[in-house]
Structure 1
Amino acid sequence: MRNGWGGKVGIAVVVAALLGVGVWGGLTLFGDREGEKARRAAEAVASGLAKGTFTDGSIADASGATPDLAPVVAGMGKVGHTVSVVSVSEPQDGAAKATLRHTWKASGANADWTYDVPLTVRKVGEKWVGEWAPGVVAPELTVDEKLRITRDQPDRAQILGAGGTPIVEPRPVQRIGIDKTKVSATEVATSARALAEAVGVNVDNYVKSVQNAGPQAFVQAIVARDGSSEEQAAREVDAPGVLLTSATIPLAPTASFARPLLGVVGDATAEIVEKSEGRVAAGDQVGIGGLQSAFDAQLSGTPALSVVATGGPEARTLFSTEATPGKPLTLTLDIATQEAAEKVLENVAPASAIVALRPSTGHILAAASGPGSKGISTATQGRYAPGSTFKTVSTLALLRAGVTPSSTVECTPTVTVDGRTFKNVDGYPTSALGSVPFSTAFANSCNTAFIRGAAQLEPADLPTAAAGLGLTAGASLGVPAFLGSVPSPEPGTDEAASMIGQSKVQASPLGMATVAASIAAGKVVTPVLVEGLTGGASDGASSDAPAESATPAPSPSPTSPVTAAEAAQLRTLMRGVVEQGSGRFLVDVPGAPVLAKSGTAEFGDAGALKEHAWMIGIQGDLAVAAFVEEGEGGAVTAGPLLEAFLRAT
């Protein structure tokens, strides 16, 4: 087939070859070079538009000056912005017409704002330069107009508990602060100091914040729940400028309710904004810590965006998107059970915890950390030697080695291993010494009998038994969590101490509650906090949550999970603790029979040893661990907490 342009193009090629020039689109190479220069000029303008500033003389206004783009687009904040060259016409009479495509991409928005604008590039001397017009920034933008983006966050979704009962929902509060329009400059520091002292915030920092704020500012000191002591104290401050305004914010039932797990909702910090890669903007309300942070993207939803041209006779909306509401996060926590656990711990001075699981489902009903934990989730993150509560694990290993509840074992006051002497707990009953059934040694927690039992085990038997009761699996709670760690012990004193839950053995209250739950269920129980969460924290969690908040995915299934028959023997032994051992005070707790195991673990320097206090229990479809970081022994310190909790629930 012959191209209609074939003859002429062929002649042009021959002539061009003879003249030593090239052709492009019917033009000589000289024309081609001008077209490329025009395109490069358009690309330079596009680059400046995307960066928000022109610095290379790529564009000029009618006077030849480089326009100041920054004020025009400053109101768009850190919204992602790309500009590409769609097309450039062939130059004619020293000018070319280009089409630029803008795309503004707000992270998390429901849609991008994409549009095309015209640009004229002209040859000025030997250089091609863009011709400035406000319309190259946005369609029909006028000389006095500037772009501004606004965000309107949807209502934050609730955090729900067992049965869909709201845990975190909008609750009434008072925003308490100083209104600088209502206090003179000479009195502002005095008012700020009086308010800070009354509501318990850092006085010097607050006074400085108030002094540095603008004359029209309201400087918030604290947000207090309606009816709180802080609200009452603020209302009693007799100083000009003190202002309380009503609002609602997402809150749990009480200020302490599962606080380390839930986190709070507050203003986005500069660090959070930076890490969010555009999803969060200054002024947004976001989750800070805990589940509120880990699942912030789910709970906060997507804000409505509006791009407005301001500065003209009236503001014009150029682009807008609808908000997408957040999705509720459903937890397994039972409000009444959690409140009961926190009530039991409210006067415990050291770090403490109560964790309650439902063995049939693995649901965490309560994960309470006492005030002595100082904001740390001792319940789910504590790492402590579990002491004799770990004898449930050691017993499983011994059962698998051939020991039975009726087997005769030797319980002596002391036993020496590699020169180190181990003894039973102070006050150990003399009636349980000597050659006794294993069930008696378990009920009274005979350390020496268990240490002697180590001779019947292989190094891997303890870690295998721990895994078989769910203690060393990875926890998938959506927030940082730890169950336990049981390394293979070294022969000698390490092995001896490991048998009684010391040395390198570590567990959290959640971990020991999981052990109790697995014994109750007759199978390995995996604790569940967020309904539907089966992987790590990435399942539903915000991608901009701090890296350390990620929770490992569950470990593979244990190679030797506890069997129903083994669990039945363990339950019988734990009932013996209540009927004849250290847990006799639990025998009359109303409801199903209580099964238990106490634990004491020494820690600290020789000569000044202190004791962790533990007690785990089972009652019907409830498994519980009570823990106090520093006490007088498991049955003495943790036992009454377990009893009070069981009686309250």
Structure 2
Amino acid sequence: MGNFRRRTSVLTIATLALTLAACTDTRPTADDAAATFADGLSALDVTGSAFSTGSGSAVNAELAAITAALDPLTPSVSVGSVESSAEDQATVQLNHVWDLDEGDADWTYTTTAELSLVDDVWQVAWDPAVAVDGLAVGEVLAVSSTPAARGDILGAEGDVLVTDRPVLRIGIDKTQLEAGQLTTSAQELADLVGVDSAGFTAQVAGAGPEAFVEAIVLRDEDSREVTDEELDDVPGALALPDEIALAPTRRFARELLGSVGQASADMIEKSEGELEAGDITGLSGLQLQHNGQLGGTPGLIISATPSEPADGSAGERTVFLEKDPVAGEPLSLTLDRTLQSLAEDVLQDEPSASSLVAMRPSTGKILTVANGPGSAGLQTALLGQYAPGSTFKVATSLALLREGFTPDSPTQCTEELVVDGRSFNNASTFPAAFLGEIPLLQTFAQSCNTGFIATRDVTSQAELASAAADLGVGIAAPIGIPAFFGSVPEAAEGTAHAASMIGQGEVLVSPLALAVMTASVGAGERVTPTLITSDSDEEATASPSPPGEPSALTADEAETLRTLMAAVVIEGGANLLADVPGEPVLAKTGTAEFGDEDPPRTHAWIVALQGDLAVAVFVEDGDLGSTSGGPLMDAFLRGAAG
């Protein structure tokens, strides 16, 4: 009996020992090693794995060199299967996925790695083909791209405004010159094409001995200022033909449409790998704002190349992935080519910053966004922030109508009105015959400042701001490019409120904002401006949802405002528009003081309605709205009438 107990006890202890040994077995498995290696490949850092040849850091360095061309991208690597051929041997299948762009097609492939168990450590047999299927020893990845065809920018009725047009890249070909000729030729070419001589000469000197150093890109057309004969006279000068996305003329809607060219160093740095040196991209305007749509997707080739290329021909290369470029999509605008060109012609001789914005009241479509040469490349039409002066009396009149005023309501038009110590006056040309008690119709038609300010107790600043908003002033809309829609303070008292009544003080608008205001009067409801109609550009074509309450503008209110504006043409400061062909013109002039000079300088404004056309004209440093803006409006409307 005692021996039986002893034997049972020994067996129990032996069994327990085996059980404990099984529970505490921490030897690594091939599956664990495979998972660690896959995670390392995903991070491009395999120092957590052991290798049968070389150290982890050495393999890591080789892996970095192999994938450097794809930086900063990393693959997603997962274990497909682990098969053991013996207790100390295993074969691992690894699935690789590179998400190269926003498209659905990724670069995927499967590689195989051999594992062996040495001293309780699973080691990977490293080979470049483990990282990239088909990659040979001594090769690394190379990436090249194929530019995509850029989408056109279209105008009204599908008119092609911006498309690839022929250009000449003019520069110095250093292979055609002796060292002693470089400086002279560079200076001659710089003077000929109008670029900085010292800067271009330095570029030529610093470029490689076989470089072509570009000085300027010119449209290749018969009217170009630099002729072939002039270029032939400059030793080493070369004109390389090319195509660039361009508008019909150099000045056509230039600030709006923007330009296309090589990405700058700053753009490349901010692109997070999307742009590289030499890439063509939108640089400004709509070309920049909608580059994703217009630029398309470049083609992509991933291939193998020697890590240390030998001299001579590179020979055939192994191509792992080839994606064709996807052309950009066109961007459709409401811009009217004929009216835009007309507007630019009208502004051509104005030395000050100026603009002309035209719209269709019935649709809100923006027809022109024109800036004169005095704007010096700035987007005055959309981004300018200026006091509107007496054009704002359209909004002030709407506020008064809501307080019971009619065109016949009497107002007090005095030569001077003092508010809290500040003196307000009328324009120096104000007709004395209209001083005294006059109806609102004449106060508006003759633009009597004191008559409007005298009604300041009738309507509050909040009511004035509300009336302006109902006409679209200060109501933002997504037109696909940055724009300023105006700003009217909701609270103001004393002289600040008095100034707001005549479009001074803190009231600010852009030419676009006043075009919207004028279009709203014409439509009988608040108009939402539209510039982009591309179905593919969802953000730009989404129905605007202006903040705040819906517009309370009624058809009757708009009709009364049109009556007031008609009087400005019939017997007020816009009389020169009375005989413009076509439907009767309705208008309002405006002059806004700015600066600290004595007498102050003035902005000149005029807005007009003619049928289904609303127009705002602005001159930054003008005289009166009637004398500086009036002739420009007259020329535009007569030209539009055709």
| TM-score in same-fold range (> 0.5) | yes
- Specify the alignment match of 2:263 in structure 1: 268
Q: Distance in 1 between matches of 2:547 and 2:571?
A: 38
1:133-148 equivalent positions in 2, closer than 5 A: 133-148=127-142
Give the AA of the match of 2:144: T
Higher mean Cα deviation, 160-169 or 133-142?
Answer: 133-142
1:37·1:128 contact (CA, 8 Å) conserved in 2? no
Relative to structure 1, the CA distance from residue 335 to residue 16 in structure 2 (aligned partners, 3 Å threshold; closer, same or farther) is: farther
The equivalent of 2:289 in structure 1 is 294
For residues 422-461 of structure 1, what are the alpha-carbon distances to aligned partners after superposition, in whole Å with 9 as ceiling and x for unaligned?
A: 0000110011111111111111100000001111112311
Structure 2: distance between partners of 1:166 and 1:350 = 31
3-state DSSP of counterpart to 1:21:
helix
- 1:66 matched to 2:68? The reply is no
The 1-side partners of 2:617 and 2:13 are apart by 92
Q: Which residue of 2 aligns with 1:119?
A: 113
Q: Give how far 1:233 is off.
A: 8.5
| Alpha-carbon distance in 1 for matches of 2:55, 2:544 | 64
Q: How many angstroms apart in 2 are the aligned matches of 1:12 and 1:411? A: 117
Partner of residue 8, structure 1:
none
Farther off after superposition, 488-497 or 616-625: 488-497
**What number of residue pairs does the alignment pair up?**
620
**Using the alignment, how far apart are the partners of 1:21 and 1:260 within structure 2?**
79
Q: 1:476 aligns with which of 453, 475, 478?
A: 478
- 1:98-497 equivalences under 5 Å are 98-123=92-117, 128-227=122-221, 229=224, 231-232=226-227, 235-236=230-231, 238-311=233-306, 314-497=316-499
Letter in 1 for 2:567: G
Amino acid at match of 1:272: M
Relative to structure 1, the CA distance from residue 343 to residue 184 in structure 2 (aligned partners, 3 Å threshold; closer, same or farther) is same
| Aligned counterparts of 2:474 and 2:22: Cα–Cα separation in 1 | 75
Is 1:612 the counterpart of 2:606? The answer is no
What is the one-letter code of the residue matched to 2:98?
W
Distance 1:437 1:63, change over 3 A: closer
CA distances 1:271-310 after superposition (whole Å, capped 9, x unpaired): 3334334444433211111111111111122222222223
**TM-score, normalized by length of structure 1?**
0.89
Contact 1:345 1:641 in 2 (8 A): yes
**8 A Cα contact 2:149 2:295, kept in partner:** yes
CA distance in 2, matches of 1:72, 1:180: 35
SS at match of 1:245: strand
Structure 2 residue identity aligned to 1:529: L
Q: Distance in 1 between matches of 2:75 and 2:268?
A: 17
Displacement of 1:553: 5.9
What is the CA distance between 1:218 and its match in structure 2? Answer: 1.8
Q: Which runs of 5+ in 1 are unaligned?
A: 1-10, 542-550
CA contact (8 A) 2:333 2:534 kept: no
Distance 1:480 1:166 in 2: 23
Instruction: Measure how far apart 1:478 and its partner are.
Output: 0.8
Q: Distance in 1 between matches of 2:65 and 2:458?
A: 79
Measured at CA, do residues 462 and 64 of structure 1 come closer, stay the same or move farther in structure 2, by a change above 3 Å?
A: closer
Change (3 A) 1:160 1:557: farther
Partner of 1:547: none
Instruction: Give the aligned partner of residue 77 of structure 2.
Output: 83
Given that 1:88 and 1:96 are in contact with CA atoms closer than 8 Å, whether structure 2 keeps it comes out as yes
Three-state SS of the structure 2 residue aligned to 1:465 is helix
Q: After the TM superposition, which of the residue ranges 552-561 and 247-256 deviates more from structure 2? A: 552-561
The answer as to whether partners of 1:478 and 1:538 remain within 8 angstroms in 2 is no
Q: Identity rate of aligned residues, in percent?
A: 44
Shift, 1:60, TM fit: 6.3
Residue-by-residue CA offset, 1:22-63 (whole Å, 9 max, x unaligned): 35xxxx7243x354763465246515xx53x76678546479
| Alignment correspondent of 1:528 | 530
Secondary structure, counterpart of 1:20 in structure 2 = helix
Distance in 2 between residues matched to 1:62 and 1:77, nearest whole Å = 24
- Give the CA RMSD over aligned residues: 2.9
C-alpha distance in structure 2 between counterparts of 1:225 and 1:282, whole Å = 23
Contact persistence 1:476–1:533 (CA under 8 A): no
Are 2:589 and 1:598 equivalent residues in the alignment?
yes
Q: Do the aligned partners of 1:179 and 1:242 also contact (CA within 8 Å) in 2?
A: yes
The reply to whether residue 574 of structure 1 matches residue 570 of structure 2 is no
The yes-or-no answer on 1:583 pairing with 2:574 is yes
Change (3 A) 1:64 1:566: closer
* Matched position secondary structure for 1:306: strand
- Shift of residue 400 of structure 1? 0.7
Helix, strand or coil at the partner of 1:97: strand
Residue 334 of structure 2 aligns with an amino acid whose one-letter code is T
SS in 2 for 1:629: strand
Deviations 1:94-124 (A, max 9, x none): 4433232222222234511011111223456
Could you tell me which amino acid in structure 1 is paired with residue 317 of structure 2? A
Residues 602 and 297 of structure 1, relative CA distance in 2, 3 Å threshold: same
More displaced 10-residue stretch of structure 1: 431-440 or 74-83: 74-83
Counterpart selection for 1:629 from 620, 624, 637: 620
Q: Which residue of 2 aligns with 1:544?
A: none
Match of 2:25 among 23, 29, 43: 29
Question: What is the letter of the counterpart of residue 99 of structure 1?
Answer: Q
Q: SS of 2:227's equivalent?
A: helix
AA at the equivalent of 2:20: G
